[in-house]
Amino acid sequence: MGDHHVHVWENTYIMEPKDDQKFLPSQVEGAIKRVLTDYFQDKVYGQEDAKMWTLDVSSEIKAAVKELNIPRYKIIVQVVVGESAAQGVRVGSKCLWDVTADNWASYTYTNTSLFATGMVFGCYYE
C-alpha cells in the first residue's frame, strides 16, 4: 500500500506584511532595469522578434524579482516593446488593490531602435 500523508494547513491570520517584508519599488525597479538593459542593449527592433522578446523578458523579470525573496506577494509582470520612431508613448494600468500592502514598480529602457517598458505589480496574499 502507498504511504499517503494528509497535510492540513491552517490560516495564519497575517493580514499585512511586516515592514521588512514589504514590496519595495526601489529594489524591484533595480531588478527590472538590470534585466531590460542586459536583454535589449544589443537588439534592433523587429516586429516579429518583439513578440518573443516580451515573453522572454517577462519571465526573466519575474525570476529576478522572485530572487529578492519578497514573501507572500503575487508577482505580476507586464512588458511592452515597441519601435522607437520619434513618437510619444504612454503605458498605463489600472488595478484594484490594498494601498497599505500592494505596490508596483516600472522601468523603461530605450535605445536607437526600440523602447521596452517593464511593469511589476506586487499584490499581498492575506
pLDDT tens-digit profile of 93-125? Answer: 888 888 889 999 999 999 999 999 999 999 998
Average pLDDT over residues 14-40: 93
Residues 6+ apart with CB under 8 A from 58: 77, 78, 79, 118
| CA atoms 111, 116, 120, 121: torsion sign | positive
Tell me, what's the pLDDT at 20? 86
List, for residues 72-99, the tens digit of each pLDDT value: 999 999 999 999 988 888 888 888 888 8
Share of the chain above pLDDT 70, in %: 98
Residues 6+ apart with CB under 8 A from 89: 82, 115
pTM: 0.86
- Residue 98: phi, psi to the nearest 5? -90, 115
Tell me, what's the pLDDT at 7? 83
pLDDT category of residue 18 using cuts at 50, 70 and 90: confident
